Amino acid sequence: MTDADPKTTAATPEKLPEDYHEKAVYLARYSEHNARLQTWIGGYGAGLASLLVYQFRTAVGDTRELWRNKGPKADAALNAVLAEMHYELSCSLRLIAAAIAIQVVLLALNKSTQFAQAHMSDQQIDWSPWDKFSIWFSDKYWFDALCDIASICLLATATVFGIEALGLTP
């Protein structure tokens, strides 16, 4: 038997960086990853919304051209298809808006509570209700994770609805 370091296993490096478990370093890494995720969610949502609106406008233009070629007989059928597509795409856009709204509210809450913590009194007796809430809320990682999961699920659902609305499914 050898006197191996109990922290070292086959799956971990031989030596972890000295600052690996420091709270400030962990929070800096978390902050960076959180910012990336929120940027991704916002960018994906905005890009998806733009793509869906563009595709719908293209479909409307194509339908008008088809109507001109086929005449008034095709009018009712084409209007029904466009109305259904419009409804499905509007549902998709609402889901995107909800996903982005969740992230904006989460960002505002996190920013406000961090600001309150940075500027609160050292004496607990002087804390306002918002200061107490800020301390309580800052320990609730599950809320951040739940908001992120909800936003990602809403965007995935919006993507599926958008693809189906545009007729891109087999």
- pLDDT (0 to 100) of residue 154: 95
For the segment 26-52, the average pLDDT, to the nearest whole number, is 84
CB 134 within 8 A of CB 162: no
- pLDDT (0 to 100) of residue 16: 56
Residue 8 has pLDDT above 50, yes or no: no
Residue 2 has pLDDT above 60, yes or no: no
Residue 61 has pLDDT above 80, yes or no: no
